[in-house]
Structure 1
Amino acid sequence: MKRIFHIVILFSGLWSTANAQDTKSCACCTENHQAFDYWLGDWEVYNTNGDVLGTNKILKMQAGCVLLENWVGASGSTGTSYNFFDGVENSWNQIWVSNTGGVLRLKGNPNEDGAMVMTSGMVKNPDGDYYNQITWTPNEDGTVTQLWVILNQKKEVINTLFRGIYEKK
């Protein structure tokens, strides 16, 4: 009988610990933390002509607090980004690192249409300072459009670097 009592107490303790961990693991289960969930998945990425640009796999990790991106371009380029909502700053952030050593830091939030818009800080350049801005737009057909543009100091678009249409594999 004493042994059964100990087993019940042990099970109760484990269940309480599991519940406490479950509550802790849901710290990022807010609407803000889920605002970019439409980008999750295993994707084939095309340009507007239908040519394959690459593949991208977006996973949730760290108990739902981080979106991990793994890009493989058709040209051999690769890159990884960490995307997360910062509750202190009330903003989404991305840190991207490519296989060429390129680093891009972005910050932003969803716009009124639900598209995620993130912009870099000012990039100093001898030919003129600029900003990077990337917008991910969820489409009604389940695809996602990613648009990467360069903005001048007045935040006007001066160049498009990338336009990709994500289709789930």
Structure 2
Amino acid sequence: MAAAYSLWMGLVLLGVLQMGAQTQDSLQPNFQQDKFLGRWFTAGLASNSTWFLEKKAKMSMCKSVVTPTEEGSLNLTTTFFRKSQCETWTMLLQPMEAPGSFSYTSTRWDSTFNVRVVETDYERYALLFTSGSKGPSQDFHMATFYSRSQSPEAALKKKFSTFAKAQGFTEDSIVFLPRTDMCMEEER
């Protein structure tokens, strides 16, 4: 029994280490921050968060706008429909050493998260991976599919599913957010 438990724990640890290795080294080559700016729609998500798994069926597409700050960071302002009104959250993404890699501090969870732009063509889609911890023993991982359009192509959805599964997410933890007209004004 102890040997089986040790083997199981070893496999779990190996899987966690492999997930970290896949995302640590994966960044958009020659990331061009100026091309990444502007409006995106959050078209798909995958996460290991209990909250996400419980709420994913109620989520809908939201709008995110990326703008530069004078200090060289990025503001990521996300607007979504919740409780019969538009809500807006802004995160300050601080650049890390590698272009396309950022960190942000969440006052809500009193934690710092790493955000990596893993792949983008700047014109149609971007695939991001976020990792961090929401407290002791609460590792947090999320894959995000940004689209410049509210109706992303089927091939891009497939690309996101493949990406999310490569990060260790299962089919039931991947969601494509339904389009909504709420809180989606067309400003850039």
Greater share of strand residues, 1 or 2?
1
User: Relative contact order, CA 8 A, sep 6+: which one is greater?
Assistant: 2
Greater share of helix residues, 1 or 2?
2
TM tier relative to shorter chain:
0.3 to 0.5
Larger Rg: 1
